[in-house]
Amino acid sequence: MKKIFIMLLLNGLLIHTLSSQTLLQQIENTYNALDSVFYIDNVILSYKEDKLKLIKETENLMLELRRVYNNMDSVQRQQTLDSVMEIYNTMELSYREDLTKKKVWEKIHSTFAKQIANAYLNLDGSIQRQNTYDSISKDFSKILLERDYSMFISAIKDKPVHYVLNLIPQDNQTLQVDTGKLAFNIFYFDKDYKGSLYVYCTDGRYSWYDTRYRAFSRQIGENAPKVFIKIMQKRPKYLLYSSELEGMNTILYVLNDKIFVYRIVQMKEYELSDYIEKFGIVKK
């Protein structure tokens, strides 16, 4: 009870602190508190957790499709899944430079593809051959996980990066900074701003990444490089993002103590207050 009371008190203090600051002050304070090395390490850790979560969901689905769970209660199902996942949960992922090399990976991939295909063709319903197939598949999944992990680290470590702070709704007319553990997206631009890497964090953890500024709208993808060039030529103090402001159709930035919103498809920009008055905030 005492611990809950302290957490509620701290949360109340945080909310009070945020509400007593202007949005610009919140942004300034959040950027000043950013430890870039520590932050990148936390993004990598969250990426790993996300990959393990995906593997767990896949393994769970495979067990269901093979009807392994037939006649099991919820406890037995969880124990079975935990047993399957043990090999991943105890796996010490490390950066392997060799796995980032195209020729090395193509050779490894080809070898496993042949082994998996042969093991699959030899399946005859026996437990022994099923176990052989499962073992090869899990070995491939492990090295694929380590390869993805190494590629991700190679892409985001020790390179010029732009930290793009997430803003979230405080109410229907006001934004505030994201106070989650991972509050920044990280953008890596190539020289013509047509790509490189865009890593997004949502709800305090890694969410997804892409090598281009992609969206459902083709026009956003085509206009985004032009918009980024225009913005970066102004030398903004900070870049910001809010999914509640038309999602990826908007990018925000701070310049001369003002917050601007650039609508990418329309190639028009507004001061934040004017934008909200005209278009509002869409809470998800």
* 245-264 residue pLDDT tens: 999 999 999 999 999 999 99
pLDDT of residue 220: 94
Distance, CA of 18 to CA of 29 (rounded, Å): 11
| Residue 61 pLDDT level (bands cut at 50, 70, 90) | confident
| pLDDT value at 64 more than 80 | yes
| pLDDT value at 19 more than 70 | no
More confident position, 138 or 31: 31
| Residue 11 pLDDT level (bands cut at 50, 70, 90) | very low
Distance, CA of 167 to CA of 163 (rounded, Å): 13
Distance, CA of 95 to CA of 150 (rounded, Å): 5
| Residue 214 pLDDT level (bands cut at 50, 70, 90) | confident
Reported in sequence order, the residue ranges of the chain that DSSP labels E, i.e. its strands, are 162-171, 174-177, 184-189, 196-202, 205-210, 238-241, 250-255, 258-263, 268-271
pLDDT of residue 284: 61
Mean per-residue pLDDT for 198-227?
Answer: 93
Distance, CA of 37 to CA of 6 (rounded, Å): 30
* 24-49 residue pLDDT tens: 999 999 999 999 999 999 999 999 99
Mean pLDDT over the full length of the chain? 89
| pLDDT value at 18 more than 90 | no
Residue appearing with tokens 């953890």: 205
DSSP letter string, 75-143: HHHHHHHHHHHHHHHT------GGGGSHHHHHHHHHHHHHHHHHHHHT--S-HHHHHHHHHHHHHHHHH
CA distances from 283 to 32, 57, 170, 199, 222 (A): 28, 29, 10, 22, 27
Per mean pLDDT, which range of 62-76, 119-133, 140-154 is the poorest? 62-76
